Amino acid sequence: MSMISSYLDAVRGLRPPPVDWSRAPATYKTYPGAARTGPVTGSLGSLLRDLLGVVRQVWSHASDGAPSLAATRSVPSGGALYPIEAYVAGANALGHYAPAHHVLETVREGDYRAAVNAALAEPLDDPAGAYLLLTAVFWRSGFKYGDFSYRLQCQEVGALLAQACAVAERDGTVVQTHLRFDDRALTWLLGLDPEAEGLLAVLSLPQVPASARLLCARTFPARTAGPARPARPAVPSPPVAGLLPHLVALHRAAGARAPAPTRRVPPQEPPERETIPLLAATPPRAAAGIAARRSTPFGYHPVPIGAKQLAAILAAAWAPGAADVPGAEDGPCTLDLYLVVLNCADIAVGSYRYRNNASALEPVGIDCPGPAIADGSLAANTRAALRCAAAALVPVGDPTGGEDGFGPRWYRVQQAETGMALHRATLAATALGLAARIHSDGTNPATQAALGLSGTGRTPLGFLLLGTPITSGPSLSRRLPLEPGAEGGDDGRPPATDAGGQQ
């Protein structure tokens, strides 16, 4: 049995025990003895802030519970647990991004950009001005979701990669994304325990000035494997080999050095049924959805949305993937996009497969999928949101279909592409005045059957509900200014909105 199959079988059969919040680790990782520089400014600061920075406070006054105050970030995270950390390799230091303070903490002094570049499966001809390395602290979400948390962490990294591209578009800069690299070399460089925190993605930032000093005024020669020990965090993350054995085994196997994929994923086969052409629609700028995006907690108005809006969202979701994944130059290469239409003014209720090459929908599965999906194993909030949602975007793929070419890393790549597609769709929906929220419990056998996929080996990888937001509710959201005392947001965004986006 393949490593991915072993992981999937184990996760499918496991039922996590009730959540023990007393075992929850710290929300923020920090290096208390390290030199700090910040707040981080320029294009790098803008990128870090809109990836992992604490940018918003949300007051919630639920009708059936106590009021709450939460500090949130720009990109959604499973359970709002935020397991992803960021490290920056620059001209004279390797630093850890501390999101609560928007500063960089020195992990190693020295220029390690050449070492990071050499560890990429497809190194750049010349090292970039800076590199951003994204890791997952396994226990931060694993204490709640168990071994299944690896899937959520890989998808969250994909969402962060999509967000990075949107921020770069907004700021007029460039980022390149990488999903294939030497895990062992980069994990050692960061000083991480590979059974506690694992590297999942790298971004190269070619337009950060090559001479930019990230953390201190000193300059250092380029180093490939400096002898100095890295700084140690205040509270090291616990190794989880005994707590999350299936997660650790798959991550270790996926990180092994492997040759380049031996083949590309085959293109879509011809449709079996007559397709429905979509209206021509230009995707909205992803950057237009960054400021207002938030996961709607109150569901949707039961009103239809237009076919042109759905076409624009689908086109936005189907965008180029990581630079080092063969076949991802024009869009996801590890998955297809399916659409469950529940309430659209111009498209009949039903299940569809998106034919991106023809901008069309192919009918699949059953004609009335909503009740069938609702019969599945769903959380109460998913079931409530499904009743009034207008549509659901469902990335679909074979979880082991590319393992012969990519090795166990296929799982990471596919889940990252899923996260990228879902987040791009979310940003597009937000830019169009709609709301979206990921409900991972929607990826169950009932949804698989409703899409006509039972017995095919292909399964739902994500489940994004779309609809018209409820524009009033017992919540207030305020974007935090970068500088204390500044009015509104650091970028001119309005200072306060309610849960539906109303100021």
- Using CB atoms within 10 Å of the CB of residue 83, give its burial: 0 to 12 exposed, 13 to 18 middle, 19+ buried: buried
Given this model, what pLDDT does residue 284 score? 94
Residue boundaries of the structural domains of the chain: 3-255, 276-478
Q: Round to whole Å and give the CA distance between 129 and 96.
A: 17
Q: Round to whole Å and give the CA distance between 28 and 254.
A: 26
pTM for the whole structure: 0.91
What is the chain's pLDDT, residue by residue, as a tens digit (503 residues)?
799 999 999 998 777 778 999 999 999 999 988 888 878 888 999 999 999 999 888 777 665 567 777 878 899 999 999 999 999 999 989 999 999 889 999 999 999 999 999 999 999 999 999 999 999 999 999 999 999 999 999 999 999 999 999 999 999 999 999 999 999 999 999 999 999 999 999 999 987 766 555 654 444 455 555 546 788 787 778 889 999 999 999 999 999 876 667 555 556 676 777 889 998 889 999 999 998 888 877 789 999 999 999 999 999 999 999 989 988 888 999 999 999 999 999 999 999 999 988 899 999 999 999 999 999 999 999 999 999 999 999 999 999 999 988 999 999 999 999 999 999 999 999 999 999 999 999 999 999 999 999 999 999 999 999 999 887 655 677 778 765 433 333 443 333 333 333 33
Given this model, what pLDDT does residue 327 score? 86
Q: Are 196 and 138 in contact (CB under 8 A)?
A: yes
CATH topology of domain 276-478: NADH Oxidase (3.40.109)
Between the CA of residue 174 and those of 57, 167, 360, what are the distances in Å?
A: 29, 9, 31
Nearby residues of 18 by Cβ (< 8 Å), 6 or more positions away:
none
Given this model, what pLDDT does residue 217 score? 46
Given this model, what pLDDT does residue 266 score? 59
Given this model, what pLDDT does residue 215 score? 56
Given this model, what pLDDT does residue 178 score? 97
Strand partners, 465: 392, 437
Q: Round to whole Å and give the CA distance between 334 and 66.
A: 43
In three state form, how does the secondary structure of 407-425 look? CCHHHHHHHHHHHHHHHHH
Q: Which residue in the block uniquely carries the two structure tokens 């960054």?
A: 290
User: What is the DSSP secondary structure assignment for residue 269, as one 8-state letter?
Assistant: P
Q: Do the domains 276-478 and 3-255 match in fold?
A: yes
Given this model, what pLDDT does residue 424 score? 98
Of 102, 84, 106, the C-alpha closest to 93 is 106
Q: Round to whole Å and give the CA distance between 143 and 81.
A: 10
**CATH superfamily label, 3-255:** NADH Oxidase (3.40.109.10)
Q: Round to whole Å and give the CA distance between 429 and 306.
A: 12
DSSP string across 347-411: S-SEEEEEETTTTEEEEES-S-HHHHHHTSS--HHHHHHHHH-SEEEEEEE-TTTTHHHHTTHHH
